[in-house]
Amino acid sequence: MAAQLPGTFTERMKELLGTEYEQFAETYKETPYAGIRVNTLKITVQELLERSPFGLEPIPWCPTGFYTEEGARPGKHPYYHAGLYYIQEPSAMAPVELLDIQPGDRVLDLCAAPGGKSTQIAAKLQGTGLLISNDLHPDRTKALAKNLELYGVRNGIVLNESPERIAAAFPGFFDRILIDAPCSGEGMFRKDEDMVKQWEPGTPRKYADMQREILLAAADALKPGGTIVYSTCTFAPEENEGSILEFLAGHPQFTAVPAGGAGWFAPGLDGLPEAARLWPHKVKGEGHFMAVLRHDGSAAAPGSAGDADTALLASVRSKGGSAARPVKAGGGKDREAKGGRGQGKGGSARGQRPQGSGEEAALAAFAGFCREQLGWQPAGFPVLFGEHLYVSPLPSSALDGLKTIRR
């Protein structure tokens, strides 16, 4: 790499790594590894291996991930544009594997753009349960929604919200939550030299404060007994072990459980050996940190979980990620518009609808089409936005007040 590493950064890394520092420093002279992850919503791993036009080597911590050979250009191949695989940095495939997703789970990807980890979650759900993918930055949600659509995700919703507002709307609701936290990006210095230029000595502290607020919101949105996986692509202890240890100190109902990955992942530092670190001088990938936080299953505060489950889970069936209900002309409280980006502070996510009979006629036509042409009804909640009809995995009422990009 051409960029000069900041002196404050190198001094800290020497202190962290000791005798391993020279090995670590040598990695900055190497070409970063590249990889793809097979989209098993569209093709099996074996089928892609048989068809791949370039050489592939398995990534040990991700059964659907492969290193690509040097010089390969997977982004230029039609298979990429057909959504058969996602181009992803190899270390970035590890956090979702630690979530241990089960069919039917309700999963929140809280800092999701551009969507690599969300597409990985969706592949594990295989069309069951529910995936809500969120990002706070409006411009980044465009790429997020595009990638979910390209990869054939039908049980997903894309939000552009703060973690706090999501937690307020879905208290105690999710089985699994991924926090791929915004961070100082030190683990990506070799791959993205702009990260080096943007780094300052105070950058890790700034992100650590942000990360701790995100963790608090995630805890409120998690169901009792659920799992949070927290990950960053940085080396700074205050953004990694520091954020987790502070969270655990204030939340005795959570425990850090061993991340596993012996032989690939190094243990965490500073009194958190259950966490995992991926060091570029030890694995074929960039720098990453991961921690698995498990809730002990104790009851949540009154009104924080049970009410949400009663109202919302009735509308989310385990297969297909949505509720099955008849589509009837002229009725049904859930026939509301497809979400837009909200209407200002506290605004509804609903877009403009046809008035009166226009909406009823559209839904009646859809019901007739399902009955006469399909012979079956797609699971979900029909919502009307402009001249387009969509089927959402949640009723519009569950998303009122949230900035919805895609459902």
Round to whole Å and give the CA distance between 48 and 231.
29
Assess whether 233 carries a catalytic annotation. Answer: yes
DSSP lists the bridge partners of residue 288 as 278
Task: Read off the tokens for 320.
Answer: 């297909």
Closest C-alpha to 261, from 229, 237, 226, 235: 229
| H or E segment and range at residue 37 | strand 35-38
Round to whole Å and give the CA distance between 11 and 13.
5
Q: Any idea what DSSP says for residue 319? A: S
Pick the catalytic residue: 62, 111, 183, 233? 233
Round to whole Å and give the CA distance between 232 and 238.
11
Q: How many residues does the chain have?
A: 407
Given the DSSP bridges, would you call strands 222-232 and 288-295 parallel, antiparallel or unpaired? antiparallel
User: What is the SS3 assignment for 390?
Assistant: strand
Round to whole Å and give the CA distance between 378 and 367.
10
CA 237 to chain centre: 23
> What is the DSSP track for 149-200?
HHTT--SEEEE---HHHHHHHSTT-EEEEEEE-----GGGTTT-HHHHHH--
DSSP lists the bridge partners of residue 309 as none
- 17: Cα within 13 Å, side-chain hemisphere: 22
Residue 394: C-alpha distances to residues 100, 132, 303, 316 (Å): 23, 10, 20, 7
CB proximity list for 33: less than 8 A, separation 6 or greater:
67, 89, 90, 284, 285, 286
- 168: Cα within 13 Å, side-chain hemisphere: 9
Contact predicate 399/349, CB 8 Å? yes
Contact predicate 323/315, CB 8 Å? yes
Contact predicate 228/222, CB 8 Å? yes
Residue 234 has phi, psi (to 5 degrees) of: -135, 165
User: What is the SS3 assignment for 83?
Assistant: coil
Task: Read off the tokens for 237.
Answer: 């202890």
Active site residues: 233
